[in-house]
Amino acid sequence: MRGGTVVTPRGARALDIAIAAGRFTVLSPRGRLGAAGHDEIDATGLHVLPGIIDPHVHFREPGFEYEEDWLSGTRAAVMGGVTTVLEMPNTDPPTATAERARAKLALAAGRAFCDHGLFALLDPGHPDELRPMVRQGLVVGAKVFLGPTTGDIPTLDDAGLLAGLATAAGLGLRTCVHAEDGPTIETGERLLKAAGRRDLAAHLEARPSGAETLGIERTAAAAAATGAPVHVCHVSSTDGLAAVERARAGGVDMTAELAAHHAFLSMSDMPADGWAIGKVNPPLRDASHPPQLLGALARGIIDMVASDHAPHLPAASRGPDIWSVAAGFAGVELCARIYLTAVTDGRLSLHRFAQATAEAPARAFGLWPLKGHIAVGADADLTIVDLSARAPISSSRLHGKATATPFEGREAVAPPIATVIRGRVVMRDGELLTGPGWGRPVARSPIRRRVARPVRGWARSD
């Protein structure tokens, strides 16, 4: 690959890259590489980024294939420049046993365009299943929901959270948390429904930032007691962010993620007549939060970005009131474009973009150093973009099954030019060139704790 501006952990440089057997073999100052043995990619005038890892997607299969499946979800992913997805367990059945994880990977085999990993649901109904899932290399991390959301998923009380985190930590696994406190939400919903509220704002009021703060604080307390590394999914409020910083100051290994909709949208962006598309958990908040969250990402306080791709069919987004409407929307194909737009606007450095979309998720979930950076020996995963091209976001041009997006109509950096996975050009100029079936499960190594002084914990390590 010649001619591009290549974003490595040391900075953006004019480099040519040689790839063999799916790995980077040479990074060389421009113009010094010999002739290619096989294919050559011309990246003149383009930026070459480490392959984007989206650590939070819901691909719905098995159980909700009408909303998305492994073929359509990974097709959308590679169209959006994503080379690896990490998939959430709230399918039907939820990914809570080794048998189900194996069955889910079998559904992806032969149909996935990009590499993929699964999260295991920490389910008190299946306390002994995490160990075989990890031993058999079926999952990259664990997931817990502290409050109600899409799917028939058990939510954990503090005892369940402590037990689950202790098990996960003993297995060298980071646990992702949907950190909205269940009892807070259930009480809020009951009171608002009794008061006859049916509007989008009522959804926000039922899920105040205090529910998020409490969820993060419960997580921090359980992580401190068990020594477990944890990951806060989709931080949505400045109060939640402050709770993350307090947990870290207390010695907890807590990574955090920012979804594009929480970084760039607020309630006031939602049209009065089309508000249902803006329903998501945790909710969009007032306009004071997004710039501060983006600033925290730019400074490295929030580690990584994610799409929280959560597609629902249009019918599910219509209903007589906000309570009966589905939460979530498509995002995997748009997340990179939206954050790259902040890069071109000068609000996020390209260096931080690469860290937040590749290095940070790779390190947090044990994919590093094989994935997450452009370096000799790593998987040759690349996202190639033209930062000078712009195009409006239009759901009709997206490639999933349910493509509605609250970003409809926004100007953004144009879709990526190419997606390269383990040396193969999977997408170029909007055409699929390799696959389906090229994507394969990622290999995970146990993660290293991020904090220098480990807290003493209950986790049995073996």
Residues that bind Zn ion (CB under 5 A): 178, 233, 308
Among ligand DOR, Zn ion, none, residue 327 binds (CB under 5-8 Å by kind): ligand DOR
155 binds ligand DOR (CB under 6 A): no
Tokens of residue 391, six digits: 């195009």
Q: Which is nearer to ligand DOR, 70 or 438 (CB)?
A: 70
Determine the residue with CB nearest ligand DOR. Answer: 328
307 lines the binding site for ligand DOR (CB under 6 A):
no
Least distance (Å) between residue 92 CB and ligand DOR: 11
- Closest approach of Cβ 212 to ligand DOR, in Å? 12
Shortest reach from residue 405's CB to ligand DOR, in Å: 13
- Nearer to ligand DOR among residue 205 and residue 386 (C-beta): 205
Question: How far from 241 is each of 215, 227, 247, 302, CA to CA, in Å?
Answer: 12, 21, 10, 8
Of 5, 91, 97, 281, which one interacts with ligand DOR (CB under 6 A)? 281
150 in contact with ligand DOR (CB under 6 A): yes
CA distances from 198 to 194, 201, 206 (A): 10, 8, 11
Q: How far is the CB of 46 from ligand DOR (least distance, A)?
A: 34
Q: Does 284 bind ligand DOR (CB under 6 A)?
A: no
Q: Could you say which of ligand DOR, Zn ion, none residue 150 binds, taking C-beta under 5 to 8 angstroms by partner kind?
A: ligand DOR
Shortest reach from residue 151's CB to ligand DOR, in Å: 6
| Residue 328 makes contact with ligand DOR by CB under 6 A | yes
Distance between CA atoms of 210 and 445, rounded to whole angstroms?
A: 35
- Closest CB to ligand DOR among 216 and 310? 310
Which of 58, 203, 231, 363 binds ligand DOR (CB under 6 A)? It is 58
What's the closest the beta carbon of residue 261 comes to Zn ion, in angstroms? 11
- Candidates 8, 90, 226, 317: give the one binding ligand DOR (CB under 6 A): 90
Instruction: State in angstroms the smallest separation of the CB of 30 from ligand DOR.
Output: 44
Q: Per CB under 6 A, does 419 bind ligand DOR?
A: no
Q: Is 401 in the site for ligand DOR (CB under 6 A)?
A: no
Which of residues 61 and 308 has its CB atom nearest to Zn ion in the complex? 308
Q: Which is nearer to ligand DOR, 5 or 90 (CB)?
A: 90
Tell me which residues touch ligand DOR (CB under 6 A): 58, 90, 149-150, 178, 280-281, 310, 327-328
